[in-house]
Each structure stands twice: as C-alpha cells, then as structure tokens.
C-alpha cells in the first residue's frame, strides 16, 4: 500500500502528462462495484430503452464493476477531451452531422493518446497492470467521470462540466495503481429543463433517455427503416444529433478544441445540401474515409437522407 505522499506524487505526474497530451480534465476514482447504478441500468433495460443496442444487455456485472475488466484494479482514471469545433459547415441548409463526427474517428485518436499515457505511467511508476478504454467496452464512463470529479450527469444524461460544458469525449484507464482520489461532483442542472423541452422526438425525460426515440440512435444504431412516426421531427440531422447540447446553458462556456485530427475536412465544410442528397458511394468513401460516419455505412446514410427529404424510406 502506497503512502499518501507517494500517491499524490504519482497523481500529479499523471495529471500533468495527460494535459500535455491534450486532455483538458482528468480525475481519479477508486475502482469498485457501482451498487447504486445496478437498479437504474436494470430498469432502463427492462423498459427496452436500449432498442437494438443488444450489447447493453451483455456483461451486466462487468459493466458495473471495473475489477472484472481488470483483475486487481484499484483506480479508474477518467479523462475528458474537447471536440467542440471552431467552425461548422458553410451551408446551413445542408443535412447536419453531430459535431463529434466532423473529424477523424475519435476511437483511434484517443486510444493512441491513452497508450502514450499508459507508457508514461509504466516508465515513471514501474509495471502497472491496466487497460485503456475509449467507448469500446462495458464501462459506465459518465458515472466514472462523475465519481472522478469531472462533472455531473445532466438531465440529458450527458456529463456536464460547470466551466466547460459537454462537448467532450470521455476515456478511461482502469489500473492497479493506487492514486489520490477526487470526489464526485454534485448536480447543477437545477430547475432547467431546456434539453427536455427542446428534444423534437420527446426522447428525454429528466435523467433518462429512451434511445429508441433519440435522433442519434435512429440515424446511427438503428438498422431497420426509421419509423414513420418520426417524419418531420428529425430537424435535418443526418448523423447523430446535438440539440440537447446546443440548448444546454452550460455549453455557453464551450471553447474550440486544439486537436488537428478533429478538424472537419475541406470536403465536408464545402458540402451543400444537393451534394449530400446526390452523394455516391465513391464520394462517401473518400470524404468519410477516417470519419465516425463510417459507422452508419453508405446505405445507412442514404436511408437517413431519404427520410429527411421524404419523411419515409
């Protein structure tokens, strides 16, 4: 067991290196079973709010207990990386893409940075057993970020930071190194219901989202035809949705990121409405070669665009 001064020393080293790598916020929480989250997750799944995201039902215990992902784990290191863009595509009438998808796929960009941080930890501390995660395993990342003091989980179920907003990717390192732990953050949503009121598909109730009504789910995760009940409610979103973030008062503090990999390509910036609706598979593969838009595939994007134009597939 490490003494307090050693834990503090290692914690400061890791925080400084994480910020050098571009992470704006980093915090530590003790690894353990998220007992209060178990009934919430079970209830959400029973309601069927996960829709076709069947993986949400898998590894229930692992999702709640990081020591099952990394045996002997003592700490969850949570990190935030800004993706708020300085610019949006020029044609405001064109189909919209969630801001997180403007640049390169964040899974690869951030995983490389986490691996660099893990190498740094091993070099400074000695052999540390740990794994890095970027939205790629059963980790309740928003809850761990809250436990690590990075923010609170808002009424739109996103992590909100009082001074920075919510346009952030979350990432984790689960490891067997003891650290100086940060305390959880309290809720600062107050009586605000801006996200609930603004959602055009009524997907949000305070602190819960029915994914089967969420525009992000409908345009990315859903593999079937988009239900006709959502015709005229998509607000021109072709991939993902930022509405509940755009109306959140805390996002008035959002500032542009400094990561070149997340800058939109010139081709994306220049795409007009007509370019979107006439897009070919060849153009799709070229423009979105390294983009998160690959997730929906060409056929999925065409389905979404067709639904936006005609209200049905």
Q: Is 135 noted as a catalytic residue in this protein?
A: yes
Gap between the Cα atoms of 147 and 167, Å rounded: 19
| Chain-centre distance for alpha carbon 6 | 32
Q: Which residues lie closer than 8 Å to 302 by C-beta, 6 or more apart?
A: 279
Phi-psi region at 14: left, alpha or beta (left = phi > 0; alpha = psi -120 to 50)? alpha
DSSP letter string, 15-71: HHHHHHTT-SEEEEEE----TTHHHHHHHHHHTTTTTT-GGGGSSHHHHH-GGGTST
Task: Please name the residue that has the structure tokens 């009524």.
Answer: 202
Choosing from 135, 176, 182, 275, the catalytic residue is 135
* Active site amino acids: 135
């Amino acid at each position: 067991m490490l003494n307090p001064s050693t834990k503090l020393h290692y914690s400061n080293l890791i925080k400084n290196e994480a910020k050098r790598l571009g992470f704006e916020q980093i915090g530590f929480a003790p690894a353990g079973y998220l007992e209060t989250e178990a009934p919430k997750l079970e209830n959400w799944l029973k309601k069927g709010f996960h829709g076709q995201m069947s993986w949400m039902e898998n590894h229930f215990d692992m999702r709640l207990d990081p020591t099952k992902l990394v045996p002997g784990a003592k700490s969850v290191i949570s990190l935030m990386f800004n993706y708020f863009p300085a610019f949006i595509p020029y044609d405001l009438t064109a189909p919209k893409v969630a801001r997180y998808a403007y640049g390169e796929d964040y899974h690869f960009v951030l995983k490389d940075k986490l691996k660099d941080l893990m190498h740094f930890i091993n070099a400074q501390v000695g052999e540390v057993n740990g794994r890095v995660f970027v939205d790629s395993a059963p980790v309740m990342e928003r809850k761990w970020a809250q436990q690590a003091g990075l923010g609170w989980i808002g009424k739109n179920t996103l992590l909100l930071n009082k001074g920075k907003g919510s346009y952030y990717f979350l990432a984790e390192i689960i490891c067997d190194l003891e650290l100086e732990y940060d305390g959880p953050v309290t809720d600062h949503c107050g009586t605000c219901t801006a996200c609930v009121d603004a959602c055009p598909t009524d997907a949000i109730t305070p602190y819960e989202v029915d994914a089967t009504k969420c525009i992000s789910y409908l345009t990315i995760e859903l593999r079937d035809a988009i239900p006709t009940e959502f015709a005229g409610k998509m607000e021109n979103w072709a991939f993902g949705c930022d509405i509940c973030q755009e109306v959140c008062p805390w996002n008035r503090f959002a500032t542009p990121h400094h990561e070149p990999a997340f800058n939109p390509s010139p081709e994306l910036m220049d795409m007009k409405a007509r370019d979107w609706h006439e897009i070919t598979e060849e153009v799709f593969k070229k423009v979105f070669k390294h983009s998160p838009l690959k997730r929906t595939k060409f056929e999925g994007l065409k389905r979404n665009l067709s639904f936006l134009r005609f209200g049905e597939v």
